[in-house]
Amino acid sequence: MSMPKDEIQEEMNEAWNTYVQALEKSLDLIEKEIEEAKDLAGVCTDEWCHTTEHVLDDLGNALFSISEPRWSSKEDSKRIKALKRRLYDIYVNYRGVYKKIAA
């Protein structure tokens, strides 16, 4: 009996891509929320700030704990690096909104 390596790798690749797409969508959502907060005075209540920071932390943990599969492409690696940079930029933007509202 032979190991269905190609089939397993294809399934894993599909699952990995779905996971990365979900992270991208999550970044889209949090980025939109923070952009909207810029226009709303007083939106950064303790609860909103606390929740936003936890979401950013969770996304950071998910992104920085990704172990790229051996079979991933250079494009996959670039995609992950871009997501990490994007998370950093979103966090900087959040801190700007937080400072603006807290002042």
pLDDT tens-digit readout, 73-88: 888 889 999 999 999 9
Would the pLDDT of 61 be above 80?
yes
In a domain, 59, yes or no: yes
In a domain, 82, yes or no: yes
In a domain, 4, yes or no: no
| Residue 75 identity | E
In a domain, 2, yes or no: no
In a domain, 70, yes or no: yes
Would the pLDDT of 103 be above 70?
no
pTM above 0.85, yes or no: no
What total of structural domains would you count in the chain?
A: 1
In a domain, 1, yes or no: no
Rounded mean pLDDT, 59-80: 87
Provide the domain limits for residue 18: 9-102
pLDDT at residue number 4: 83
The 10s digit of each residue's pLDDT in 18-54 is 999 999 999 999 999 888 887 775 556 778 888 889 9
- pLDDT top residue among 5 and 61: 61
What 3 state SS string does the chain have? CCCCHHHHHHHHHHHHHHHHHHHHHHHHHHHHHHHHHHCCCCCCCHHHHHHHHHHHHHHHHHHHCCCCCCCCCHHHHHHHHHHHHHHHHHHHHHHHHHHHHHC
